Amino acid sequence: MRRTIIVLFIIRISIPLFGNDYILQIQSEYRRDAIDFEDDTREYYRQKLKVCFSKASEANAAFVYDHNEDSLKYTWNIFLRDISPQFSFFAGNFYANFGKGMLVGKRRPFQRDVFKRQGEIFSGEPFIPSLSGNPYFAFHGCGMNASHSLGDFHLKLSAFHSIKERYINQQEYESRSTSSSVFSLDSYDEREKNRIEPISMHTTGIITQLCFLKLISFDVYGIYNSAQTPFGEAITLRYGIHSFKGIGCMAEYHDEFITIFSEIAKADTQFRSSDDVEINQQGFATISGILFRGAYLRASLIYKNAEKNFFSPYCATIGEYIGPGIFADVRYNLLSKLILGASVSSEKKSSTYTEKEIPSLHKEHIFLKYSSGLIHEMRAEFARIKRTSENEERYRYKGICSIGSNNFFLLSISGTTQQHSHSNNSYSFSAIATFFIEKSFKAHAMCARAWVGENNSLYEYFLPLKNSNIPGIFIRESGNIYALKAIFIRWGIYLSCRMVLEIPHVGNRNTIFEAFGSAQY
Amino acid sequence: MISLMMSIWLSITSSAFTYRTMHPTLLFPYYRAALESDTARSLHNPAFLTQFCTFFIDMNYEKPYNLKEISAMSARAGFSLPFCGAMLTWNSFGIDEYKEETVEASFGYKIGKYATILFAPNISKLVIRTDLVDFNEYFVNYRGGISFFPFPLIEISYHQENIRSFFLKEGSDIHYPSWSVGIALRPTEGFSMSWNLNKTYFSYINTFAVSANLLKWLAVSGGYSRETSSIAGAATLFVDGIVVSYCIRYHSYLGTTHSFSATIRYGGMPLEEISYSKPIKPSCNEPINVKTCTSEDLQRIGIAPPVAERIVKYRETVGPVTKKSLIQMGLTPKEYKRISHCLFNLTNDETSKPKNTEKWNEQKWKKVRISYKQNFPFRNAETRRLLFQKLVHEGVKASSALRISELAKDLTRKKLIETIEHLSFLSESEKIAARRACAEQ
């Protein structure tokens, strides 16, 4: 609270100094959600501050107070993208994305809805500021972009170096070997009881992008990662991983209607055994796809594959497994107001030496959507998931009907049936009423009733707040759920809050309260 | 407690004078040859002050690694002329049992556009008073450096510390002849990066640093020292002649160091702000007529909004826009060169000014004298232009002269002189000059 007052005071007094060219944004929120890419939710309070020096240059800071762990974490960064047409610079906490993310990718929030697809293909700048306040998944360091145009050719060179200080225990430090992996080490960013010895994770990445006529691009990139003591001695991580390096290249054709890409990446992991023998393990991964964007038809087909020896700690791309997978989507406007969509995905984990049966995952999703006049949305959907590892199969049928006007009153009714191969069916029924009290204020009220079969929990959305990472809630017990949400938007201020009350037939009540506010000067 | 701290400290710095009390913008406690920020450069080598012709006093306090008993402080005073600068520095570091004090006079000289040299003799005092050791001695030594600027973008520098120890082995274990070589790159205005390699008593140290002048009054810098695993960040605020700096430095084992500094400058030191979103050479599909253009037209070719508005106001209040007036209104010569091909109908400076200056002065003031007889002598655009030129000639800032010329339009001479007394944007010397310009007949 004290920090909020100080930040607001500083902003208030600094507005005249900034003048008209600058934008200041402040955001405060209290949520029960994932902070960024974790798969579990936690109760936290977060503050964000953003200062835009120009249209493209900005500085960000975010603080997160985690109630579960009673810890305060922060991220910061400064991105100077338009200080020169040929040069840009950034420092602080950031994410990197090279190509389509086979080697280094921008993560997406964890998708808890098992019927929906995990991960996505990312297309954008190679470096993205981290705004979450959680330093675990982000790089910490600095980097730059230098570009040069020669006629129709445009060459861009980007590089970064990240140093993340983490802590291990004394025995591990003395043996120069830790049982932590790259991921688990990320969470030890403060000195704890046993973990008192500092080590640093060094990551260096470089990407060259050559673009012709803004249509054809060719990217070549590389990354190197290692851990070392403050005195430069190498630290061996879990499974004896000593260092990791990888290279890759991607070719892409991109115009208004079609995108075709193909990428190949090679990962090279160096292991060091207890008797100091070094072993190199190499593996290849590929991803290719075609995306079509027409006026009536949108379709995409993506195929990826990775060898069993392929390992990249920063891989983040489409799909749940790193192994072979195919992903197809189609969306067709049958009539101007009637849309038919379908998506299918099938993927398999890379074969390993330990697992006899390789897990595979199949997902299917079909929907039909209609909207016209007072019928705001009418939607029917079917989804199926089959996971061989647990020998389970689930089906979900869902129907939604929203009637009303977008600026007066909206009533939405939905029903869901979910079948599970090993348990009883689950059902849910919900109604949402939305009141538009003024242009700047609207309120939602929702009530739902659910009948849940054993081990067949339903994943439903109860008026999630803006920018939620995990927007839905798992209903594990039969019962009633009530939710209220209010939104106020005026004078550059956005305020919203929601309350969810879950009353199960058996067990304790569960109450969730969340609030979000942002202001822009 | 103190003996424990001393043992820790001496184990870290077995060579004395290894830890230097540095200005926050210098980031790390050792001399680096090539520096990124202008503030740091001028405090390292007074030759870099020559472009500003300034006098300054600086006070610096530091808490090394948050150790309670140890503090470090320094004070500096310096001045510069167009070709050389000088600075006197006092440094103190330590605790009662172990103390280092240094007084240094540094001289910098600018050799043309392409090089600067530094020479700095210093006298140091080392006092160690413990139950086992009683040591109190003075040392004399020198440091020097040279920087080359083969291109405007690049600086290559070499710095040698303790030159005397370099030749005489005596005392070199205390005053180790460490050196540094570095390169600084300035890819764009207000932004720079540096890499330095230092040879110290212990090892080689690679240091990487960047500096960005985010706003006209705010500069930030950050650096990483690879071999010492230290990260440092600094912020500097510029409020007229006062400069306030803060640095935080983090070391994996030793902890955090906070450093504060306040500098008072006479003559100012303008910060070269990053010019966001400005193309190096804007494309001009339609060249702009300076006699009719709007402020938005000027902003479109990369002129900052306040300057663009000032130019339009100048045209409306004072008269035809010339190259000289554009620079007076706030464009730098570099900026003018960048946008000049986008402008047309600029009035030639030469044609607007008679060759014989005395005659010209006589002519212009004749007009003023005629209008003086009237109640509102500056209602006429011509007389306002002459007033503006006279104000600038007397040493009033062009932006202030423009505002006075604008005010003059509806005021009598007497009222104008009275109003000048209450103008907050004028300094006392400017007020005197402005009164003189308005009163002159």
Which of chain B's residues have a Cβ under 8 Å away from the Cβ of A19?
306
In angstroms, the CA A75 to CA A132 distance is: 7
Check if A13 contacts B (Cβ < 8 Å).
Answer: no
Mean pLDDT throughout A12-39? 77
Contact call for B253 and A198, based on CB within 8 A: yes
Specify which residues B389 forms β-bridges with.
none
Cβ–Cβ < 8 Å for B130, B137: no
B187 CB burial (10 A radius; 0-12, 13-18, 19+): middle
In angstroms, the CA A329 to CA A100 distance is: 17
Helix (H) or strand (E) holding A223: strand A216-228
Facing residue for A84 by CB, picked from B187, B305, B306:
B187
pLDDT at A19 over 50: yes
Supply the range of the domain harboring residue B421.
357-439
Check if A86 contacts B (Cβ < 8 Å).
Answer: yes
Q: Domain for residue B352, yes or no?
A: no
In angstroms, the CA B430 to CA B307 distance is: 21
- Note whether B249 and B300 are same-domain residues: no
- Note whether B339 and B199 are same-domain residues: no
Name the token pair of A287. 């991803």
Q: Are strands A216-228 and A241-254 parallel, antiparallel or unpaired?
A: antiparallel
- Note whether B87 and B209 are same-domain residues: yes
Residue B301, φ and ψ in degrees, nearest 5 = -95, 15
Helix (H) or strand (E) holding A475: strand A472-475
Which of chain B's residues have a Cβ under 8 Å away from the Cβ of A57?
274, 276
Helix (H) or strand (E) holding A203: strand A195-212
- Note whether B367 and B431 are same-domain residues: yes
Q: What is the pLDDT of residue B355?
A: 46
Q: Domain for residue B105, yes or no?
A: yes
- Whose tokens are 């002459």? That residue is B386
Question: Taking the CB of residue A323, how many other CB atoms lie within 10 A of it?
Answer: 23
In angstroms, the CA B164 to CA B121 distance is: 10
Closest-CA residue of A relative to B214 is: A53
Q: What is the pLDDT of residue B354?
A: 44
Q: What is the pTM of this model?
A: 0.76
- Note whether B332 and B384 are same-domain residues: no
Sign of CA dihedral A241, A243, A248, A254: positive
- Whose tokens are 């290279």? That residue is A247
Cβ–Cβ < 8 Å for A83, B191: yes
- Note whether B372 and B299 are same-domain residues: no
Which of chain B's residues have a Cβ under 8 Å away from the Cβ of A89?
191, 193, 210, 212
Query: From the CA atom positions of chain A, what is the Rg in Å?
Result: 25
Cβ–Cβ < 8 Å for B288, B296: no
Contact call for A84 and B188, based on CB within 8 A: yes
**Identity (one letter) of the amino acid at B340?**
S
Q: Per-residue confidence at A65, pLDDT binned at 50, 70, 90?
A: very high
Q: Which of B6, B31, B5, B8 is nearest to B18 (CA)?
A: B31
- Note whether B234 and B327 are same-domain residues: no
CATH number, residue B88: 2.40.160.40
Facing residue for B191 by CB, picked from A59, A89, A165:
A89
Which of chain A's residues have a Cβ under 8 Å away from the Cβ of B212?
78, 80, 83, 89
Facing residue for A87 by CB, picked from B188, B214, B276:
B188
Q: Which of A364, A366, A362 is nearest to A380 (CA)?
A: A366
Task: Read off the pLDDT of residues A390-446 as tens digits, 9 standing for 90 and up.
Answer: 778 888 899 998 888 777 788 888 888 888 888 888 888 888 888 887 778 888 888
- Note whether B227 and B334 are same-domain residues: no
Facing residue for A198 by CB, picked from B187, B193, B252:
B252
Mean pLDDT throughout A116-125? 84
DSSP letters, A384-401, are EEEETTTTEEEEEEEEEE
Check if A85 contacts B (Cβ < 8 Å).
Answer: yes
Contact call for A200 and B275, based on CB within 8 A: no
Contact call for A80 and B212, based on CB within 8 A: yes
Cβ–Cβ < 8 Å for B46, B86: yes
Cβ–Cβ < 8 Å for B217, B237: yes
Contact call for A163 and B224, based on CB within 8 A: yes
Which of chain A's residues have a Cβ under 8 Å away from the Cβ of B190?
83
Q: What is the pLDDT of residue A430?
A: 84
Which of chain B's residues have a Cβ under 8 Å away from the Cβ of A163?
224, 231
Task: Read off the pLDDT of residues A348-366 as tens digits, 9 standing for 90 and up.
Answer: 877 665 666 678 889 999 9
Q: How many CA atoms lie within 13 A of B119 on its CB side?
A: 4
Closest-CA residue of A relative to B277 is: A82
Q: Domain for residue B421, yes or no?
A: yes
- Whose tokens are 């949400």? That residue is A485
Strands (E), A13-129: 23-33, 42-52, 58-66, 71-84, 87-96, 127-129
Q: What is the block-wise mean pLDDT of chain B (441 residues), using blocks of 10 residues?
A: 48 63 88 86 80 81 84 89 88 87 91 88 90 86 90 89 81 82 88 91 89 87 89 88 90 87 78 64 68 82 79 81 80 76 74 49 58 64 79 79 81 82 80 79 47
Q: What is the pLDDT of residue B359?
A: 52
DSSP letters, A225-251, are EEEE-TTS-EEB-GGGEEEEEEEEEEE
Closest-CA residue of B relative to A230 is: B229
- Note whether B338 and B362 are same-domain residues: no
Closest-CA residue of A relative to B281 is: A85
In angstroms, the CA B237 to CA A497 distance is: 38
Tell me the nearest-neighbour CA distance from A227 into chain B, angstroms. 13
Closest-CA residue of B relative to A231 is: B227
Q: What is the pLDDT of residue B11?
A: 45
DSSP letters, A364-391, are EEEEEEEEETTEEEEEEEEEEEEETTTT
In angstroms, the CA B323 to CA B337 distance is: 10
Name the token pair of B319. 């008269």
In angstroms, the CA B209 to CA B160 distance is: 20
pLDDT at A118 over 90: no
DSSP letters, B199-214, are E-SS-EEEEEEEEEEE
- Note whether B226 and B149 are same-domain residues: yes
Contact call for B276 and A18, based on CB within 8 A: no
- Note whether B425 and B319 are same-domain residues: no
- Whose tokens are 């006529």? That residue is A213
In angstroms, the Cα distances linking A34 to A43, A66, A112, A462, B230 are 8, 11, 11, 16, 32
**Identity (one letter) of the amino acid at A298?**
R
Check if A173 contacts B (Cβ < 8 Å).
Answer: no
Q: What is the dihedral of CA A93, A98, A103, A109, to 10 degrees?
A: 60
Q: What is the pLDDT of residue B1?
A: 45
Alpha-helical runs (H) found in A154-253: 170-175, 182-186
Contact call for B276 and A86, based on CB within 8 A: no
Q: What is the pLDDT of residue B53?
A: 66
In angstroms, the CA B394 to CA B429 distance is: 10
DSSP B322: B
Size of the A and B interface in Cβ pairs below 8 Å: 67
Q: Domain for residue B146, yes or no?
A: yes
Q: Which of B21, B90, B102 is nearest to B57 (CA)?
A: B90
Q: Are strands A139-150 and B191-199 parallel, antiparallel or unpaired?
A: unpaired
Name the token pair of A510. 């569960």
Q: How many CA atoms lie within 13 A of B227 on its CB side?
A: 11
Q: Domain for residue B215, yes or no?
A: yes
Q: What is the pLDDT of residue A265?
A: 94
Give contacts of A 152-171 with B, CB under 8 A.
163, 165
DSSP B64: G
Q: Domain for residue B413, yes or no?
A: yes
Residue A418, φ and ψ in degrees, nearest 5 = -130, 130
CATH number, residue B304: 1.10.150
Q: Domain for residue B12, yes or no?
A: yes
Which of A54, A80, A166 would you mutate first to test chain B, the one with the most B CBs within 10 A?
A: A80
Residue A251, φ and ψ in degrees, nearest 5 = -115, 140
* Count of domains forming chain B: 3
Contact call for B305 and A20, based on CB within 8 A: yes
Q: Domain for residue B203, yes or no?
A: yes
Task: Read off the pLDDT of residues A474-496 as tens digits, 9 standing for 90 and up.
Answer: 888 888 889 999 999 888 889 99
Assign 3-class secondary structure to B25-61.
Answer: HHCCCCCCCCCCCHHHHHHHCHHHHCCCCCEEEEEEE
Q: How many helices (H) and strands (E) does chain A have?
A: 3, 28
Contact call for B252 and A21, based on CB within 8 A: no
- Note whether B419 and B309 are same-domain residues: no
Name the token pair of A262. 């193909």
